[in-house]
Amino acid sequence: MDQNPTAPLPAASTAPGPGVVPEFAPPPAGRPRRRYAVAGTGHRAGMYVAAVTGEHADVAELVAWLDPNPVRIDHYDAQVGHALGANAPARLPRYAPDSLERMIGEQSVDTVIVTSVDRTHAELIDRALRAGADVVVEKPLATDAAGCRRITRAVAETGRDVVMTFNYRYAPRNSTLRRVIADGAVGEVTGIHFEWVLDTRHGADYFRRWHREKANSGGLLVHKASHHFDLVNWWLNDVPTRVYASGGLRFYGDANAAARGMGPRPARGTGAGAGGDPFCLDLRDDPRLDALYLQAERHDGYRRDQDPFAPGITIEDNMSVLVDYAGGATLTYSLNAHSPWEGYQVSVNGTHGRAELLVVERGHLDDDGDPGLDPSAAGGGPGGDPVRPAGHRLVVQRHWRRAEEVAVPDGIGGHGGGDAILLKDVFRRDLRVGTDPLGRAAGYLDGIRAVAVGAAANESMLSGQPVLIDDLRLGVPLAGGVRPEPGDMKG
């Protein structure tokens, strides 16, 4: 199951390219399975629940839930029961967030999978490590510098492990660009331009949910762009040193709606009878959203379908960032959350030439009520698009030579073919045969490097001034660390 709760699942590739999927040895006979607990049972948990009860059931087992909402736990507990061959819920032990330490002790939890609201990540990671468990965490690692400092202290003082699930590293189009750069095809990189656009179906969704409050998510420059900043850090095998950013809320929110004369709007999409309003989301239209959120409202009051033009939004929908790197390269980055198409463009300039990656995840939107929120799970657009077809293209052009297209191998699953490969590394990394020359596995230090850019960008937008990464006092040198990490690339 992909992380996206609504888009159709893509067909798995039957023949991914060489080197795309790492080789893993079978688990030793009789070795006990690793015991996992899930902290946070919203839609992000689905990918991990399906992995543990499916492909990786021979090396992993779910033993407990941690969430304040019993309805969301019920949803996944029923899935686990079904996967185990029962016609009844699994009835795994369930705990409230303040009982994390008790859960780890009582259920002998080896690893806690953190898929909760972003603002809770640092606390849950800190407490889990100190209670004797390792952690697998969804991006972002934390929402601000204080959270990063808390995690670095916990890692240093416990010696335990934190795995970051940066699935976009595993998408073959992105790892192929990493190989192009590492092989020196464009020479020494002098600069990268990276533009990411979210369309008005996916982009609007961040302004309906808890993400719309910066205190919860750190804003899109942390929640969403930590993926993108991690890619650049990884492509360059370098660390950011200075950040300048500018941005604002220019499309969503009540003030912008009023300025464009949109008139009165419903507070939520479900039951609004909006009749084709493309910005309304009716949770009843999707069984999973209905089960995880609409049926769960009575326990916590959380509304998953708020109007993106309502008051109270504190995050930006247009952002531009300038990042200097220790090795001398510069990143220019932009993120727009109200585009008519979705995807990204990357241009890498070097001393020998230029590489360009264009990815179209959805070429256009039809006003047909298609519930697919995030196109990265399957790609494409309604009915296809002859002018902007879904797909990707990687082109390299050296100085005084014709441009050449670089073949991108197939992957497996959603998010550009990276999800299923990531999950192999998460649950079987101790069984990997050999090392990954691309260093795709990510640890806590990679998470800090990514959050550092977004956190500095948030500070820069407040002050109007450039922010030095060192001034964030993250608790660990970004070029080093208190100990080697799985994703700390050596070049």
The closest alpha carbon to 476, from 129, 145, 136, 130, belongs to 145
Domains and CATH numbers, the chain: 34-137 (3.40.50.720), 168-251+314-472 (3.30.360.10), 254-300 (no CATH)
Cα separation, 456 vs 470, in Å, equals 10
Cα separation, 108 vs 63, in Å, equals 9
Instruction: Name residue, tokens 């850090």.
Output: 233
Instruction: Name residue, tokens 């008139």.
Output: 263
Q: Work out the angle at residue 400's Cα, subtended by the Cα atoms of residues 398 and 403, and round it to the nearest 5 degrees.
A: 50
pLDDT in tens, the chain (491 residues): 334 433 333 333 334 455 688 899 999 999 999 999 999 999 999 999 999 999 999 999 999 999 999 999 999 999 999 999 988 999 999 999 999 999 999 999 999 999 999 999 999 999 999 999 999 999 999 999 999 999 999 999 999 999 999 999 999 999 999 999 999 999 999 999 999 999 999 999 999 999 999 999 999 999 999 999 999 999 999 999 999 999 999 999 999 999 999 989 999 999 987 567 899 999 999 999 999 999 999 999 999 999 999 999 999 999 999 999 999 999 999 999 999 999 999 999 999 999 999 999 999 998 654 546 666 544 444 557 889 999 999 999 999 999 999 999 877 666 566 788 999 999 999 999 998 999 999 999 999 999 999 999 999 999 999 999 999 999 999 986 433 333 333 33
User: Phi/psi at 278 (nearest 5 deg)?
Assistant: -70, -10
State the pLDDT at residue 180. Answer: 97
Per-position DSSP letters for 362-384, written without gaps between them: ES---SS------GGGT---TT-
State the pLDDT at residue 410. Answer: 78
Cα separation, 323 vs 462, in Å, equals 16
Paired strand residues for 188:
none
Strand order in the sheet with 94-95: 94-95, 60-66, 34-39, 111-114, 134-137, 162-164, 442-443
Neighbours of 217 (CB within 10 A): 23
> pTM of this prediction?
0.92
Q: Which residues contact 255 (CB under 8 A, 6 or more apart)?
A: 249
State the pLDDT at residue 3. Answer: 40
The closest alpha carbon to 364, from 337, 340, 391, belongs to 340
The closest alpha carbon to 32, from 66, 59, 68, belongs to 59
Longest dimension (CA), the chain: 67
Cα separation, 245 vs 142, in Å, equals 19
Residue 476, judged by CB atoms within 10 A of its CB (0-12, 13-18, 19+), counts as: buried
State the pLDDT at residue 218. Answer: 98
